[in-house]
Every structure is written in structure tokens, then in C-alpha cells.
Structure 1
Amino acid sequence: MNPPTKRGNPRRRALAVGTVLVTAACMTGCGAKAESADLPKSMSALVKQAVKEGVVDWSAPKPQSQMQPAIDLFEKKYPGIEVKYTNTKAPDQVSQLRMEQAAGKVSVDVANAGGLTVGPSADMADDIDWSRYGVAKENVLDKGLVYIWAVPKVWAYNTEKVAPADVPKTWNDLLDPRWSGGKVAAESRASFLTAWDLDPSLGQTKALAWAKKFAARKPHYASNTTQTEASVESGEVSIGTSLINLVLEAKKKGVPVEVAPLSPTNANESYLYVPRGARHPAAAALLTSFLSSDPAQQALARTYNSRIPARTDCSHPDDTPVLAAICKANLKWYPTSTLADYNRLTNFFPKGEEALGTDIG
């Protein structure tokens, strides 16, 4: 294997370009022309208006195949409404919506928010009283963001490269010299350090100290978790940062990967919202509320995309495949439960990149 090298962060560059575009759009009055929707106060009236609209444009950073089971259920329950789905990267969606709201021509009815895009998305989301449409209060973040699925960040290992007795059980185990020289893969963007900030017993200071020691082991850096997971699956590295759904999908195909019992981690919540100025606001609100319902959650669970309890809770581990997997690995997880948490993490990640030595480009 080639020795690991520090790489520039394509995501950082993409976000920088997006920021320039957003700034240019905002100079003309960002969001000034995007107005809140006048939605009905009852579910029955919402359905009537949604059917009249006839279509809903949904955009999220997931393959359509993973969302299709829930889409099929929705279209079966509401046959007069067509769901048009687009797989869009989260940073790209933020830039797109900022410009469209400024121009008063919003093309997305239901948008996705997660991680660093939660803060800007909250500013673009319509202020909807979700309780009118059956969405539980605990599944609403701030005004307009509805918690729909979680994809916990995990450490994955190749079972053909790592003996059971050698599997790391703590973050400090990864500092063992045996994992030096590119045997461990990690995201260069440092978001895998999120759990350190959320765990009250850890915190940012300890996270940065750990990151510097980890960097000294010369890990293999990649720009995202899809790439780190791929390097674990291929055996290029022994262990790497990943997402629970990527590991479960790989295992289903017979790939020799498993979730390491390495805690803590974070729930890694994803939210849906209706942007101000959406063309089909009633259909958008109806789809979002439906995706929060039990039938839709059961459908999403089959593709590893449903909600999990906000905090560590393995009292019913068989509720979803994701919950079963993280409970089997004895993982402890924490929620990012407020906008203040997300804003704090936005400031933390650049510090984490500096400690990892990946703040290049």
C-alpha cells in the first residue's frame, strides 16, 4: 500500500465555492422573496390541498433505492400525489436553495439537513406547526426541521485483517503502535470527532489532544466516509471511520466487515424540512409528516435509514436493524439535540482538521 499522504479537502473547497455563490446571491437580498406558506390547520384540509398540488419534489443525499420503499407507501396512500426524488449532496443543496430563495424560484419542496448543513437549513426552513400534522414534538428540531433518520458514525474493521482479540474497543486503542503506518483510515474533515464534543466526560480539549496523537500514527486520510469504508472493505486498511448503514449494506453482500465496539459515537441525525417559497408546500408538509409516521419509519428501517432513540437505549434492540447493530456492538451514543450543538460543532471541526493535519487546500 502506498504510504498515506495528507490530502486537500475537496469538501472544504466545495463549501468555499458554495459560500461565494451564496454570498453573491445574498447581496441581492438573500431569502427576501421566499415567503412562508399559508398551510391548512387540519390534516384533512392539508391532504385536499396536497392532492390539488399533485406533486412533491424531494431532494436528499441518499440513493433513490433507499428511499423508494417509503415513496411507494406514500404514493399508495395518496394516489393523487407524485413524488419526484433527486439525490443531491448536502452542501450543494444549501447553495442551491439560498440562490433560489433569493430569486423567488424555489425548486425543492422537501429538503434534507444534517451535520454542518443544519444551521443554514434552519434559516431557510418554513416555520410549520408540525403538531397539526401528527409529528411528535420530540422529533422536531427548532421550528421547521423534522427528525426522520439516523445513521450513526462507527468504526468498521475488516474481519480478515483483524483478529477478534485485536479489535479496538476504545479510541485510545487506536493509538497503539500496531495501527501505525496507514493501517487505519479516517475522514480528513474531522466530523468523526463529533462524539467527543457531545460526551460530557470528554469535550473538545481532549478531542484535539487525541487527534494530534492519532495523526502521529500516520493514518490514511480520505475526504469522506464512503471512501474510508471502501478502503476497509477492500482490505487496503484494517480499520476505518464509517457509517452504520454502509457497514450493514456491505455485510448483506457478504463483505468481511464488522462494527468495532468502539465508543462513544453520535446518532448522526438527519432532518427534512419545507423551504420557504416551496412550490408545493402542502404536498411537502404531507410527505414530511408521513415520513415521520410509524409505517414510513418501518419502510425506511429496511434500508437502514430510520430513527433511533435520541440517547443510548438498548431496551428494545430489535426495533430496527441499525439499533440492533449498534446495541450488539455495545456502543454508547449521544444526540446533537439543539441548534446550539450544531453551531458549536461548525466551529469545532476546523480545529479538528488542524489537529489531524488535514487542514490543507
Structure 2
Amino acid sequence: MAASTAACGAGAGTADLPATMSGIIKQAKSEGEVDWSAPKPQSQMQPAIDLFEKKYPGIKVKYTNTKPPDQVSRLKMEQAARKVSIDVANAGGLTVPPAVKLARNVDWPKYGVDKKYIFEKSFVYIWAVPKVWVYNTDKVKPADVPRSWDDLLDSKWSGGQISAESRASFLAVWDLDPSMGDEKALAWAKKFATQKPHYSPNLTQTEAPIESGQVSIGTTLINLALDAKAKGAPVDIAPVSPTTANEAYLYVPKGAPHPAAAALLTSFLSSDDAQSVLAKTYNSRIPAATDCSNPGDNAVLQSMCKTNLKWFPTANLDDYKSFSTFFPEAEKALGTDVG
């Protein structure tokens, strides 16, 4: 049955999964492979992939680095055509609300996933990549490092000396923190826009100008900054607070051709062993809200706590839905709205 449903593609996604971990392993091995799609370089995921394939020989992981919006569009078309090709998908930020309709329900606790890491029943919290402000240590003196959002409005950063993401997701914490709020966020964004910042299409592309010294300071993802710093780049994290945990989730799409292998891989990536490996590439979980009681050897958490950052969770689906109205307004305030 496992072999026949796997061959059917969409049919496999509607089949019941085994009720036990031993059953899911047996079926996963009969499926033989699992197709995982996420917005990360494969080099960062490979250590976890290698560990999974070593633990479960006979199950091959096929990984694809895919931008979240592209993944959502692809899954919508594939599910409509009943020819799904992705077994494990990624959701975060604005792709969470549409992914709710794309994801199949999985009884994750049966497969060893801690309930506290399950979001909206279908999603499993696997890693966080907090948005942070980073400065070039060769260009910014210690006394000039910004320590608050208002410090970023100082005229010394005008004329392209600061970079930011044009899509405005770096402002998410203003929408989440009750003491900040949308109205204050838009007022801040309008002032920020007058400095003529260097805008990049997304947060992964804001990192390079900071490293090269094209700009003095910019907003990016903490994993990119820590990786660059470890390789000798002149960058460090500014204590501009608060920010967001920026959680990312994995889920099994409806119609996944290898559902048991998908559930097994997702469960594995949530385990302590996999999290320890992912932490080495700065891609593991951190507490969703500020908690520095036990940073352990998690470099992301250590860095945030050392920098005295406060961060907020995206606690529920309504928080994610609110981004869809907040971000477009923030883009208009930044002057980056392209419709």
C-alpha cells in the first residue's frame, strides 16, 4: 500500500499515516526518499541531512533551496493538479497564512515532537533567524553604534550609509509589540525614508553592503551576520532592540508523495540531535520570546543575550495575518511600495 500510494503522488497525501514511530519508520523506508524545500543554502542544511541519512539508511533526502513565495505558488498549482512534488515545505512570515490551507494535519506528538514546538496543529517550529541591525566595525566607532531604533534616525547615517529591506519585514516587531504599534511604526518609517537609505529586495541581500563597507550599518538576519563574522568579516550586532524571533516552520503538504518520510524528517529535525547540528550553522530554535536563562552553546541565543536584545514571538495565526496589511503600509511609508 505504501508503495502504491507513493506512486500516486496526491493520493499519498490523503492516506493515513501509521500511528506509531516504528510504523512511520517502516513506511518511510519503503518510500525511500523525501523531497525537502526551504529557503536556505544546502550547505547549511547538509550536516543535518547527513545525520538523518546515517540514522535512517535507505531514505535519501533531496533538498531544494526555494524562496518562500515561489514555494507557495508552486504548491498551489501542484495541489490543484494533484501532482505534488514537495514532501517537506517551509513556512515563515507572510507565507504562514496561505500555508495553513496547503498543509496536511499530522499528529506530531505521536512522532516525538514536543507540543510546545507545534504551531497551528500542522506546523513544527524548527529554526529562528532573528532580524537584527549589524554594523561594519571598520567604519563605525564603538561610541557611534546605534543602541535604539531612534538612534538609527541620526543624520550621520543619511545619504546611503544605512541599508534596509524594501519589503519592510524588519519592522515586524512594531506590529507585535503593544508598546510600539503600527502608527508609531509608520511615523518612524517616514523619518527613516528621508535619510535616503540603501534598499535591498530582501534581508539576505542587505548583508553584503555591510560586509563590504558600502554602508556603515544595516538590517539583516542574525545567521548571516554570525556566519560572516566567523569568517572574518568586519561586522557585529548592534544592540537595537526589540526585534522578532522570526520563527520558521516545516510542514507536510497535502498530497506529498512520500508522507511518512516527510513526517520522519520533520520529526528528526525537531529532535535535540538535529537541533544541535543546525545550531552550528546558526539555524536552530531559540525561545520564541526573550529568555536568556539558559543560552547553552546556541550561538544565536548567546549573541542575542550578550547584546542585550529583547525579542517578541509571532504567537498566533492572527499575528501573521496582520503582517499582510501592516507591511504594505510600511512600504508606502518607506517609499518602497511597488504595488
TM over 0.5: yes
Displacement of 1:34 in angstroms is: 8.6
Which deviations, in whole Å up to 9, do the C-alpha atoms of 1:302-356 show, x marking residues without a partner?
1000000111011112330110111111100001121111000111100000010
Cα pair 2:13 2:253 within 8 Å, conserved: no
* Structure 1 residue aligned with 2:329: 351
- The residue type paired with residue 254 of structure 2 is R
* Structure 1 residue aligned with 2:6: none
Displacement of 1:226 in angstroms is: 2.2
| 1:203 and 2:181 aligned | yes
Q: Percent identity?
A: 71
Partners of 2:263 and 2:30 in 1: how far apart? 14
| 1:328 and 2:317 aligned | no
Which deviations, in whole Å up to 9, do the C-alpha atoms of 1:40-76 show, x marking residues without a partner?
1111111111111111111111111111111111111
| 1:282 and 2:248 aligned | no
- The residue type paired with residue 207 of structure 2 is E
Partners of 1:280 and 1:227 in 2: how far apart? 34
Select 1:260's aligned residue among 238, 243, 248: 238
Displacement of 1:178 in angstroms is: 1.3
Partners of 1:246 and 1:285 in 2: how far apart? 28
Displacement of 1:157 in angstroms is: 0.3
Partners of 1:35 and 1:84 in 2: how far apart? 18
| 1:88 and 2:66 aligned | yes
Cα pair 1:37 1:276 within 8 Å, conserved: no
- The residue type paired with residue 297 of structure 2 is D
Displacement of 1:136 in angstroms is: 1.0
* Structure 2 residue aligned with 1:251: 229
Displacement of 1:224 in angstroms is: 1.2
CA distance change for structure 1 residues 67 and 186 in 2, over 3 Å: closer, same or farther? same
Select 2:192's aligned residue among 214, 218, 221: 214
* Structure 2 residue aligned with 1:108: 86
Cα pair 1:36 1:127 within 8 Å, conserved: no
Partners of 1:74 and 1:315 in 2: how far apart? 30
Cα pair 1:33 1:102 within 8 Å, conserved: no
* Structure 1 residue aligned with 2:250: 272
- The residue type paired with residue 274 of structure 1 is V
Cα pair 2:13 2:257 within 8 Å, conserved: no
Cα pair 2:12 2:259 within 8 Å, conserved: no
Gaps of 5+ in 2: 1-9
Displacement of 1:188 in angstroms is: 0.6
| 1:241 and 2:224 aligned | no
* Structure 1 residue aligned with 2:141: 163
What is the 5 A alignment of 1:43-58?
43-58=21-36
* Structure 1 residue aligned with 2:43: 65
Partners of 1:327 and 1:178 in 2: how far apart? 27
Cα pair 1:128 1:144 within 8 Å, conserved: yes
DSSP 3-state at the match of 2:284: coil
Cα pair 2:13 2:259 within 8 Å, conserved: no
Select 2:109's aligned residue among 126, 131, 146: 131
- The residue type paired with residue 159 of structure 1 is T
Q: What do you get for the CA RMSD once the two structures are aligned?
A: 1.2
DSSP 3-state at the match of 2:14: coil
Which deviations, in whole Å up to 9, do the C-alpha atoms of 1:69-108 show, x marking residues without a partner?
1111111111021111111111111111000000000000
Aligned residues: 330
Cα pair 1:162 1:238 within 8 Å, conserved: yes
* Structure 2 residue aligned with 1:145: 123
- The residue type paired with residue 301 of structure 2 is L
Select 2:20's aligned residue among 38, 42, 63: 42
Q: Hey, which bits of structure 1, 4+ residues long, moved more than 4 A?
A: 32-35
Displacement of 1:33 in angstroms is: 8.1
CA distance change for structure 1 residues 34 and 286 in 2, over 3 Å: closer, same or farther? closer
* Structure 2 residue aligned with 1:76: 54
* TM-score normalized with structure 1 length: 0.89
- The residue type paired with residue 270 of structure 2 is S
Partners of 2:11 and 2:335 in 1: how far apart? 42
- The residue type paired with residue 222 of structure 1 is S
* Structure 1 residue aligned with 2:4: none
Displacement of 1:173 in angstroms is: 0.4
Which deviations, in whole Å up to 9, do the C-alpha atoms of 1:178-202 show, x marking residues without a partner?
1111111111100000011111211
Select 1:297's aligned residue among 261, 264, 275: 275
